[in-house]
Structure 1
Amino acid sequence: MVAVSIAEYQAKQGQVIGTSDWILVDQAMIDRFADATGDHQFIHVNPELAKMTPFGGTIAHGFLTLSLLPVMREKSDIPQVEGIRMGVNYGGNKVRFLAPVPSGSRVRGHFKLLEFAEKGPGRFQETCELTVEIEGQDKPALVAEWIAQVFL
């Protein structure tokens, strides 16, 4: 992972700053997410019934795909800002689920840095536009603005 200064990172605003590794979204992951959230709608957990839908099989929950953002960030080539001790999720803007993620698909995230601004001594706020690609498909699974706060 490449280390950059705060000024170098801020200079990347408006640019794509990284892409994650591929992540397999299999039925076991979907089932565990259904158990964790209590969302057992058949389109997610019943392959036989889901075959009769326009999707032809089970699909991941949109919120499951959204919940993969931290691991996508962790498994990406985004430069590391020097001196950052920790980061926390702060929220999101404009989340849109554009295409279903079929069970067995692989997804990856593309990160565009929209803003990296100092909000207080040793505290910065980062806003990234994240596009989650589904392997082999033209339409992304989701597009969102993800906000994090990071601390020196």
Structure 2
Amino acid sequence: MGLKGKMIGQTEIKGAGGDVFHEFICKTPHHLANATPEKIQAFTLIDGGLGTDGCIIRWDYTHDGKARVAKQIMEDIDHEKQTITFKMIEGDLLDLYKTFKIKYHVDNKGDYNLITWTLDYEKLNDDITHPGTLLNFFLHMSEDFESHHLKKA
């Protein structure tokens, strides 16, 4: 079994356009705690400016029933293609994975908006499981965002 892996998942959001989703994640991620309070408890900007390559952020979140922490660099931000890659630099995931990157991409086709999440990782050893529940976390977080956004509209 290989130590490197990639998982990809997609979800459709209808009422909240993909443009809105990208702007929200890129420039106001601190509001995710309001949109998904059972998943995201806190967000901290540590260095740089939101929406700019190289900014460092911290998430306090709950995954698989446990309080977790992630410190990441936002990199490869492309506003035209509506993508961001989050590179893990500290946190619970690095207890299991040598490297871990989370990327999302928004595909807008009229009323049809697909959010694609990609997890690229390298496990520390073969005993570590693949991060399927974490991929589901991001897919459900996207759906929670849509529900939250529709309530505000």
State the TM-score, normalizing by the size of structure 2: 0.29
State the TM-score, normalizing by the size of structure 1: 0.29
Which structure carries more strand by proportion?
A: 2
Larger radius of gyration: 1
